[in-house]
Chain A
């Protein structure tokens, strides 16, 4: 019987078997059929040994791959963390030691000389561990130069109202966008998104014009007010609030809750992690800001620490590390406290 015919027959049998009709099919002359009992046993043993070897090899390969992956991940993690560590460790050196180690860099850099950098024969020494641990830098910074504390306070005074205000405004607005979906609202929402996507370069000019018109230029309000009404958090929160199951809201309505009660008791608690994540994100973003104060606050006394730090770098290298370290402590503390919220908030924002 030729092979093709046999195949057709077996296929037919399979089709019928699906309808619970079983017919005889001719035996195939397979390799397995042609073996004797002993041969079969030997074959099984052999293949068992082979598959065991295979498994072992795969395990070893998997282990090697894991180790390689670990190495790559560790390198990435090291690269990520080293600058932060470096700053903190160096902040405990004495000013003299800092100047000893890095003075050569900043000497050639002073005043951002245009192309005037000359290569000095002395190379800087990168040191991670201070010779002697002192808090001299911090002492100098906190007690000798009051400008630093002033600027720190300036940063706080700008960032806290912006974050608080934007969250309050954004929660209300995104609740409205999430619950009331009509055509014109969607268009408005889309224009909010476009506004969010606009780079600073575009929104800064209108900001400048309007604060000039309102007469708040060169005051904190010129930065706080546009910050409060920035649409970034509305976009993410709306996305989040639209995921609230409508059954919750309907149930609350049946129990006689009004919109405000639904907002307070259902929408806000459901979005808790998103709100915390946004608070963290906004805090970093505004703690970091440089452009707005540069343009909108011409008075250097009102500028926040971020702008000031870029000037301290070249002038007083002795305390620069401590200043940098102190400046990154608040966001890092917030990160340590709220990392889970941050990760969850970011994760949910990207997933549709």
Chain B
């Protein structure tokens, strides 16, 4: 069979494939260029067919094997480091504790859901996402529109606005403290200019605003670049013909550009959502383990549970979050597909 192995590379059922197979079955008489009917003998035909099938199967298996080989390193790692532990997590979430394997049903879940700290953390995280994600999307879109409206020095502005993304949070926290701490620069200015009483930015309800500023500062550049790319991809003919028809710039934006931008809007929203869940980093660096109430994020809850090694609490909390995330993203995807249905040309 060694002779046939290289056939597996060519597309299935090509003329060459059949020709050579036929040669193998029917001896030298058909070496010439004369076309002979292959199907004269039913048994020959059958043999041919089965051989073809066998070759195709072998090719398929080979293809599968080859591509699985490429995937294998990643798959092994993902299974070991993510899928298996997630399964273990599900298992422990139904157990009394990590050592006591007694099945307790949904007790851990109800315990976590009743936990005041968890509720507070979840509420804070969701509030933060609900406010900052739309802001990040809209402001980035406005910036992109501004830069795209024929402003000189577009690429310079783009580079500058992209800069904050590169700066590690840990380095910039210092500046935020200088500005927003109780004795900080901002309070000093406020007192100088308006004579207002100092606000304790980090330890009042305004703390979320400070964190939001940091979040926007860091993420607007990335979102803006995504929008700029999408704006460049809108066919100019469509915009021009709308101009001809007398559509003003606002109508043009909502009726035409928005339709082309909608996939990007969803992409940006999802990316911002992911990074808004990562906001713990900023909060931790600014305020430490136990921040002001409105800044107590889910990660704080997790970290504090880690220090007590409360596995059942941890695992049920993680699973609840996982489900919530799947629901949020699912809704976004669903909305996108609904929205996209009439955009597709």
Interface residues of A (CB under 8 A from B): 66, 69-70, 72-73, 76-77, 79-81, 83-84, 86-87, 102, 104-109, 112, 114-115, 117-120, 122-124, 126, 168-170, 172-173, 175-177, 179-180, 188, 192, 194-195, 197-210, 225-226, 228-229, 231, 234, 253, 256, 258-259, 263, 284, 287-291, 294-295, 305-307, 309-310, 313, 320-321, 324-325, 327-328, 331-332, 334-335, 339, 342-343, 346-352
Contacts and interface: CB of A to CB of B under 8 A. Distances in A.
A124 B189 CA distance: 10
A332 B166 contact: yes
Interface residues of B, number: 104
A338 to B, nearest CB: 10
A204 B162 CA distance: 29
Contact of A291 (B160, B267, B280): B280
Contacts of A295: 302-303, 306
B136 interface: no
Contact of A201 (B71, B80, B318): B318
A348 B288 CA distance: 38
A172 B192 CA distance: 60
Nearest to A175: B70
Contacts of A309: 170-171, 173, 285
Contacts of B191: 123
A209 B88 contact: yes
Contacts of A79: 217
- Grouping DSSP codes into helix (H, G, I), strand (E, B) and loop, the B interface class, with mixed when no group exceeds half, is helix
A304 B329 CA distance: 32
A175 B221 CA distance: 29
Given A69-B151, A348-B229, A126 B85 contact: no
Q: Among A258, A290, A327, which residue has the most Cβ atoms of chain B within 10 A?
A: A290
Nearest to B315: A205
Contacts of B85: 205-207, 209-210
B281 A290 contact: yes
A108 B82 CA distance: 43
A328 B169 CA distance: 9
A206 B88 CA distance: 8
B63 to A, nearest CB: 7
Interface stretch (B19-27, B36-44, B235-243, B320-328): B320-328
Interface in B175-198: 175-178, 181-185, 187-188, 191-192, 198
Contact of B161 (A80, A109, A195): A80
Given A210-B81, A325-B171, A201 B281 contact: no
Interface in B149-180: 149-153, 157-178
A85 to B, nearest CB: 10
A90 to B, nearest CB: 9
A115 B192 CA distance: 24
A313 B303 CA distance: 22
B133 interface: no
A225 B82 CA distance: 11
B160 A201 contact: no
Given A87-B175, A124-B183, A205-B89, A229 B325 contact: no
B168 A339 contact: no
B73 A173 contact: yes
B4 interface: no
A86 B302 contact: no
Contacts of B71: 172-173, 176-177
Interface of B: 9, 63-64, 66-68, 70-71, 73-75, 77-78, 80-82, 84-86, 88-89, 92, 143, 146-147, 149-153, 157-178, 181-185, 187-188, 191-192, 198, 200, 203, 217, 220-222, 225-226, 228-230, 232-233, 263-264, 267-268, 270, 274, 277-278, 280-281, 284-285, 287-288, 290, 298-299, 302-303, 306, 314-315, 317-318, 321-322, 325-326, 329
A10 B8 CA distance: 70
19 contacts: A80-B161, A105-B183, A117-B200, A175-B70, A194-B326, A195-B82, A197-B329, A199-B321, A200-B299, A226-B81, A259-B70, A309-B170, A309-B171, A310-B170, A310-B173, A328-B166, A332-B163, A332-B167, A335-B166
B203 A313 contact: no
Contacts of B9: 253, 256, 258
Contacts of A206: 81-82, 84-86, 88-89, 318
A200 B229 contact: no
B82 A229 contact: yes
Contact of A350 (B81, B159, B171, B226): B226
B340 to A, nearest CB: 9
Contacts of A199: 274, 277-278, 298, 321, 325
